[in-house]
Amino acid sequence: TLNKDLLPKRKDMEKNAEESSKKTVFLSTISAVITDQRGHTAEHFSTEDEKRYHGILQQYHYSMQLEKQILIDQIFIESVKNNKLNIDIVMSHFEKNSWYGKNITKSVPGGTITYNWLNLVAPSVNDYFIRMQIYFSESTYVPNFILAMDSLVLKIEGLVRDICVFSGITTFYQTKDKQGRSIVREKDINWLLREMPENLFDEDDLLFFKFVLVEQAGFNLRHKIAHCLIYYSEYHMECMHLLLLVLFRLGKYDFVKPDEAVEEKVADIE
């Protein structure tokens, strides 16, 4: 939840990207293009700021692949194997040390609604531990985390949206339907993370969230899973551990005020 050494540090990635750019001057002048699984152009990095950010994402990928992912996986694997981490311990931690266990009351048209996130994230976390226990007990078993990842990545979007709501950040936008009438749509997590004030999250956490969830040059798990662009072989343990780490890191940002109904901003449609 708190350890700074688990993730690449943004400042280090910026420094590495700058040094790499100086060593490969010609390559640093070329625009980068990201393609998706089908070969379609998904994103361009052509301006100086875009190319600089692409360099940071490249360095982040190298750091994750060569160092941090191995560390993260081993922490989860050894902790679960030795029963230092199980569903009861995790749920107890979230209940006592995060905002997931707090009852949230929101004002909605016609009254209020009360819920908490502990009940919503528990099924995916529990499925992870079930798969891991089978993995440790059966040598030929290759675990898949389809149910856990599909559920958790979408719940994480809801967590980010609620953090924005608690922080007074508008989570919707106005647009027009085919007849030109004003309607309102919810911003997705890609929009929310990119528009989020930099001081809301720790800069290392924010870069981690973006890289895992929404960056085309990263893992982009939210987009791939939500639009069914992820293959069976990609539902692997490493990605599951990253989503769990996102869940742990998000849990420390507590903006929930107890015993106070949250009033979400409402669009003033003409």
Q: What pLDDT, in 10s, does the model give residues 217-261?
A: 999 999 999 999 999 999 999 999 999 999 999 999 988 765 555
pLDDT band at 168 (very low <50, low <70, confident <90, very high): confident
Residue 115: strand pairing partners:
104
**Distances, alpha carbon 165 to alpha carbons 67, 116, 159, in Å:** 35, 15, 10
pLDDT value of residue 28? 63
Provide the 3-class DSSP secondary structure of residue 240. helix
Query: How confident is the model over 36-57, as pLDDT tens digits?
Result: 777 677 777 878 888 898 999 9
pLDDT value of residue 44? 72
Residues 6+ apart with CB under 8 A from 231: 37
Quickly count: other Cβ atoms within 10 Å of residue 224's Cβ: 19
pLDDT value of residue 24? 73
What pTM value is reported for the model? 0.90
What whole-number distance in Å separates Cα of residue 101 and Cα of residue 14? Answer: 36
pLDDT value of residue 93? 96
Tell which wins on pLDDT, 128 or 28: 128
Write down the mean pLDDT value for the chain.
89
What whole-number distance in Å separates Cα of residue 107 and Cα of residue 128? Answer: 34
pLDDT value of residue 225? 96
Q: Angle at Cα 172 formed by Cα 171 and Cα 178, nearest 5°?
A: 165
The amino acid present at 53, given as its one-letter code, is Y
Which residue, among 245, 2, 6, has the nearest Cα to 128 in the 3D structure?
A: 245
What whole-number distance in Å separates Cα of residue 39 and Cα of residue 41? Answer: 7
pLDDT band at 265 (very low <50, low <70, confident <90, very high): low
pLDDT value of residue 109? 81
**Contact, 186 vs 264, CB < 8 A?**
no
Query: How confident is the model over 63-118, as pLDDT tens digits?
Result: 999 999 999 999 999 999 999 999 999 999 999 999 999 998 888 788 888 999 99
Which residue, among 10, 61, 51, 47, has the nearest Cα to 28 in the 3D structure?
A: 51
What integer is the mean pLDDT of 200-219? 95
Asked if pLDDT for residue 26 goes beyond 70, the answer is: no
Q: Angle at Cα 147 formed by Cα 82 and Cα 118, nearest 5°?
A: 70
pLDDT band at 266 (very low <50, low <70, confident <90, very high): low
Asked if pLDDT for residue 267 goes beyond 70, the answer is: no
- Residues for the chain: how many in total? 270
What whole-number distance in Å separates Cα of residue 169 and Cα of residue 172? Answer: 9
